[in-house]
Amino acid sequence: MSVGWYEVWVDEGKTMPYLLLLLPQQGSQAGVIVVDPNENYRIVHQAANYESAKLWLLEDEYTQVDGRMEC
């Protein structure tokens, strides 16, 4: 199953950067989800729209990955 698009977000405040993925909700439900690939892609947050999910990530000090991140 293809999700169409996804974004990678990272918490750089940890010793080892922690990643979350933001992607569209599949199925009949609209909106977007944030999943944790380290926990078998468990949904950690659901939002009605992209902006709400983005604000949630920013509040928790995650940064959107754009290209290669420097350590």
Strand order in the sheet with 32-36: 42-47, 32-36, 18-24, 7-11, 63-64
pTM of the model: 0.85
- Closest alpha carbon to 5 in 29, 26, 28, 30: 26
User: According to the model, what pLDDT value does residue 70 have?
Assistant: 55
Each residue's pLDDT expressed in tens, for the chain with a length of 71 residues: 467 888 999 998 878 889 999 999 977 677 999 999 999 999 999 999 999 999 999 999 999 998 755 54
Q: Rounded to the nearest 5°, which phi and psi values hold at 20?
A: -130, 155
Q: Is 62 exposed, middle or buried (0-12, 13-18, 19+ CB in 10 A)?
A: buried
pLDDT at 69: 55
Q: Identify which of 43, 17, 40, 16 has the alpha carbon closest to the alpha carbon of residue 32.
A: 43
